[in-house]
Amino acid sequence: MTMNTNRLCLLVAMWLVLTAHHAFWSLLFRVNGASPHALLFAVSLLLALSGLNLLLLRLLSPGRSVRVMLTLLVLVASVSSWFMDTYGVSIDREMLRNVVQTDAAEASDFIGWSLLWRLLWQALPAWLLIWRVPLKPAGWLQSAGQYLRGAALGLLLLVGAALPMYASFASFFRNQNVAQHLLVPGNVIVSAGKLVRDAMHARTPYVIVGADAHRAVKVVGAAGKPMLTLLVVGETARAANFSLGGYARPTNPELAQRGVLYFSNVRSCGTATAMSVPCMFSDLPRAEFDIDMADRRDSVLDMLQRAGLAVSWLDNQSGCKGVCGRVPTEEARHYHPSSCVSECLDEALLYALDARLTRVTRDSVLVMHQMGSHGPSYHQRVPPDFVRFTPTCATERIENCSDVQIVNAYDNTIAYTDHVLAALIDRLQQHQQQFDSVLIYVSDHGESLGERGLYLHGQPYAIAPDVQKQVPMLMWFSSGAPARLHVDANCIRYELDRPYSHDNLSHTLLGLNDVLASAYRPQLDMLRGCRRGPTQFLHVAISPHAFQS
């Protein structure tokens, strides 16, 4: 019996899903159990993974190379699945790096009857199918058509199986980060690609940005007070749920009483932290930014530090994604361990600020990275006393919750962020005799809460819904800061509805701290048009307004 290459690739893909994913299926049933919904999800996963593997095998097996490439991919899948099952590990970039760096003597320790038995029962049947079943002859045009149809079929099967249970997929893969590293042979191929990329980057010269960064004028406030810029990087907060921006629920009652300036039309650089954080601290706008080169290039924090400011990063998240690699960095948990279990509530940031305020003796920039509204475990981001909207989704398994419960749980995180930001402002206000201060808050990206059947975030930017890209941003100035910075607060109020983005953040920080550098782009400085007086950043005449703190 003859068959075409697409059918052969599909059979091999299904064989690998059934036989080479013991670790993945074990994790799935250990976490989800065997309820009817869990079994339905398992079937959906079976189809989706078959589609994913078909897409992968088809893309990597063009034309007449199909038998050879399938043979190699089956070998990779069998060996990697044996390795994971035997040693209880997953395969990511670092694990593959260890394998690549193993010498011949160490590698020989892994070769034995156990591995040979795995190849015998798992790889051999697939190899027999690949080499013994005759393939229908096809010309190059037919082969190209089959190649495209096979890839399209794999993609269609993947999307068609995953979309109806998108909430379950999003919840499982978000909560079980290791799951993606258990999918063979994709885990090996992706990790190998990352190793190649790392090797290429290692040979790329490091780019120093703004080597000429310096303070334009040494600005000193009343009685020689220093200036503190506190930048709070929010996590997964979407603008749609901020009452400061028109949301019907009172999610920002405390900030509404603090006289903050809220920017209502701000877009993120990405839909995930790994993209947005490096991008928002880059001197390059999104259109010019290259995430693959971000770790080989200075951020705005480097420029601020080079200009003489005391710059530091305080983290209550999963790290700064390389942005803070060259500035002093601490974790918030050290300041208030009782706020932490496996993760820390953002309350820890308040204690961290309390400890640092007495140390502000010169112009400083402090960045705080929130835990914020990171999902799907929204309920873990809020202490019990701050649960205002009920019924809530008190589990990370959001597929078991209604959309109403999910929104309630998420809105509680926004209300808690409101409290934390207001408390930070109050602390800055209490120290106005010691230093002038500015607080800036902006989230890294938004979140989907069931709209169009989507949950969480991380969709490709071009097709991601606006709720994943529209983010909240606000500023607060201490009473002496506007005059100190030559900033007209009333002027800013006329600019609050203008379109801004993460592109503006770095250049606004430079302008706000009176830092001149060749990398500074005045047109991206949000406050440039609202500065008055003789500063080197002002190139247009601005009518004076009365200051309001």
Other Cβ atoms less than 10 A from the Cβ of 197: the count is 12
- Note the pLDDT of residue 536: 41
pLDDT at 110: 64
Q: Backbone dihedral region of 482: left (phi > 0), alpha (psi from -120 to 50 degrees) or beta?
A: alpha
pLDDT at site 103: 54
**How many residues can be counted in the chain?**
549
Q: Which residues of 50-60 are buried (b: 16+ CB within 10 A; e: fewer)?
A: bbbbbbbbbeb
Residue 299 to residue 283: CA distance in whole angstroms: 7
Report whether 431 contacts 481 (CB < 8 A): no
What local confidence, expressed as pLDDT, does residue 107 receive? 61
With contact defined as beta carbons under 8 Å apart, do 442 and 273 qualify? no
Residues 6 or more apart in contact with residue 106 via CB below 8 angstroms: none
Residue 99 has what pLDDT? Answer: 74
Instruction: Please list the rounded mean pLDDT of every run of 10 residues in the chain (549 residues).
Output: 89 95 94 90 96 94 89 94 83 76 59 87 95 87 89 95 90 87 92 82 86 77 79 97 97 97 97 93 96 91 97 92 94 87 90 92 96 92 94 87 95 98 97 95 95 85 93 97 91 96 98 95 95 50 31
Please list, in sequence order, all residues whose beta carbon lies within 8 angstroms of the beta carbon of residue 529, skipping any fewer than 6 positions away.
491, 495, 540, 542
Q: Which domains does the chain have, with CATH numbers?
A: 5-202 (no CATH), 216-530 (3.40.720.10)
Q: What pLDDT is stored for residue 342 in this prediction?
A: 76
- pLDDT of 355: 93
- Within 13 Å of residue 546, how many CA atoms lie on the same side as its CB? 1
Distances (CA, A) of 330 to 197, 228, 291: 29, 18, 24
DSSP helix, strand, coil percent of the chain (3-state; round to 5): 50, 10, 35
pLDDT of 19 reads 95
Task: Check residue 64 and give its pLDDT.
Answer: 82
What pLDDT, on a 0 to 100 scale, did the predictor assign at position 139? 80
* Residue 220 CB contacts under 8 Å (≥ 6 apart), including other chains: none
The pLDDT of residue 106 is: 53
What pTM, to 2 d.p., does this model score?
A: 0.80
- Residue given tokens 């918030």 in the structure block: 332
Torsion angle in degrees (nearest 10) through CA of 179, 180, 186, 190: -140
For CA atoms 201, 203, 209, 214, the dihedral sign is positive
Q: Directed axis angle between helix 36-59 and helix 186-202, to 10°?
A: 50
User: Which amino acid is residue 444, in one-letter code?
Assistant: D
The confidence score (pLDDT) of residue 49 equals 96
